[in-house]
Amino acid sequence: MKSAAARILIVSFVLIGLIYIGSNAVNAVNVNPARHPHFADAQKHIEIAIAQLSEAQKGNDFDMQGHAAKAKRLLERAYNQIKLSAEAANVKR
């Protein structure tokens, strides 16, 4: 079993990463719900999914072999692609 100090270090790094991701990757590129309500709803669902994955990670002591973290990265990419979709739709208008 891991020592308490190692667990604290791992959890600290993960939390710092989550704070960075949450503040930069997702929240910085949200879609205007007045122009694109469906895209905005999709982004909200992704935010909820990321939060649920974070809770699952906490509940499993972040011992998920990196799969939850990878899923979150993929969700962040999808979130950004939704923003690009909205921007492309704006060009057509």
Cα–Cα separations (whole angstroms), residue 57 to 42, 51, 90: 23, 10, 37
- Check: CB of residue 81 under 8 Å from CB of residue 27: no
| Locus of tokens 């962040």 | 76
- The per-residue pLDDT of the chain, averaged, comes to 83
d(CA 83, CA 62): 29
- Name the band, by pLDDT with cuts 50, 70 and 90, for residue 20: low
Q: Is the pLDDT of residue 24 over 50?
A: no
For 38, the domain range is 4-92
- Check: CB of residue 17 under 8 Å from CB of residue 66: no
Instruction: Tell me the per-residue pLDDT of 56-85, one tens digit each, with 9 for 90 and over.
Output: 999 988 888 999 999 999 999 999 999 999
- Name the band, by pLDDT with cuts 50, 70 and 90, for residue 16: low
Report the domain count for the chain: 1
pLDDT at 10: 72
| Locus of tokens 């590129």 | 29
- Check: CB of residue 79 under 8 Å from CB of residue 43: yes
